[in-house]
Amino acid sequence: MKVLATDGKGRLTATVGRGLAAACASLAVVLALCGAAAAQKTGSNYAFGALLPLSGALAERGKTSKAALELAQADINAYLAASGYGGQVSFAVENTGSSPQQALEKLKALASRGIRVIVGPYDDDAVDACLDFADKNNILLVSQGSSRPSLAKKGDNLFRLSPSDTYQAEAVTSLMRQEGVAVVVPLWRGDRTGDDLTVHVKARFKQLGGTVMPGSRFSPDRKDFTPILDDLSRQVSQAQKSAKGGKAAIYFAGGEEIVPILKAASKRPELAAVPWYGCDGTAMYDPIAKDPESAAFAMKVRLASPRYGEGGANVYSLTEKRIQDKTDVFPDTQSLAAYDAAWALFFTAQAVGGAGDFARFKQLLPQVCERMYGVTGWLALNEHGDRREDWDFDFWVLGNEGGKYFWQKAARYQFEPGTAKELFLGSGKR
């Protein structure tokens, strides 16, 4: 496996591919599903909404999702023109400000304009804030980024194109065991996402035969991590004694607090003596790389963090590059899932004859996804409306060349439909 790395600005420097043919099958297959309806209704305009975090903590991810939707809109409209169907697709984008409350306000604004089918919200908290209103008002949410397991419910108006955090837990614990970790000490932010993810990591690690210490939980508004790291140090010392020939390790679930935590931990030899594993919130998190002290410590403990995996097909790489060229930001996979969501909504609207028949649209969307292979892979959904197949996770670690830190791929937990899941290790070992 080649290493996929970025330079100091997050730009792609190398890539891998599985081939273009499978990805290109999506257009032909979905057109076979909805071609008759599309042929009967030409010149139609399709208006969808989008709830994206264009400011606040998630602004960079919102920026790349917006670019992905703009590219999808242009591509779909070009397809409509070339096919002779006519008509236009448009996305009314609203800024959630990385705030659940603002996301709900913007959802209501879209609803007042008659928009009932929406890409987003991007994150779990915003989805949680919006879902009750969406369910009560016949609004369909198709989130490219939400992955919290507790949001998986049958029959609601939420569909999600990112794999559940249960799969992320499966991936990171598989890497831990592969690398000889016998005892893990969790360190996590005490919110619903951190709690959910840590519960699944603990359970999965125990299933794999490992031992889990109680760990240290901190409140989201904590600024002084001294007492938390005191407790963590004690537990790590105990874990090392009980590892019985294996390794002890620290698992972190959180977000931006990772930088002050790493800086403080760098002054504690006992915390530098064990490997660290992160979550999707720390994968390719540039503030780590931009802070020399935290970056040096992250390299020392080889902090490995899973991120929803990049598609191997050439069409993924091409779309990724188009988004990066448009934004000067290396896009997350969820942004490419937003691109896929746009096409899935368009194909569904074609088959239904518009988005006005909400019940039929909601019923048909999973059927379209079942038959669609997008740039992120097969879009098939499970009974909860969540991504069922074709998910991978890449593990990212920091490297240093010429005094500059950069992110590089160290491993991949890969899933192919109909085959066993495999863990591929990249260069370097713990």
| Beta strands at 373-374 and 404-414: parallel, antiparallel or unpaired | unpaired
Question: pLDDT by residue (tens digit) across 227-269?
Answer: 999 999 999 999 999 878 789 999 999 999 999 999 999 999 9
- Per-residue pLDDT at 429 exceeds 60: no
**Looking at the domain that runs over 21-163+313-378, which CATH code has it been given?**
3.40.50.2300
Helices of type H across 245-398? 258-265, 269-272, 286-290, 292-300, 314-327, 333-352, 358-370
The confidence score (pLDDT) of residue 1 equals: 23
Confidence of residue 76 (pLDDT cuts 50, 70, 90): very high
**Tokens 């074609």, residue?**
350
Question: pLDDT by residue (tens digit) across 8-51?
Answer: 333 333 323 333 333 333 443 444 344 433 333 455 789 999 99
- Per-residue pLDDT at 83 exceeds 50: yes
Q: In what order do the strands lie in the sheet with 305-308?
A: 305-308, 393-401, 404-414, 422-425
Domains 21-163+313-378 and 166-309+392-425 share a fold: yes
DSSP 214: -
CA 235, 241, 242, 248 torsion-angle sign:
positive
Higher-confidence position of 186 and 9: 186
Q: Six-digit token pair at 79? A: 């397809």
Q: What is the pTM of this model?
A: 0.83
Buried b / exposed e along 131-169 (16+ C-beta atoms within 10 A): beebeeeebbbbbbbbbbbebbeeebbbbbbbbbbbbbb
Q: Six-digit token pair at 428? A: 């370097």
166-309+392-425 placed in CATH 2.160.10.10? no
Domain ranges of the chain: 21-163+313-378, 166-309+392-425
Q: How far apart are the first and last CA of the chain?
A: 18
The confidence score (pLDDT) of residue 28 equals: 39
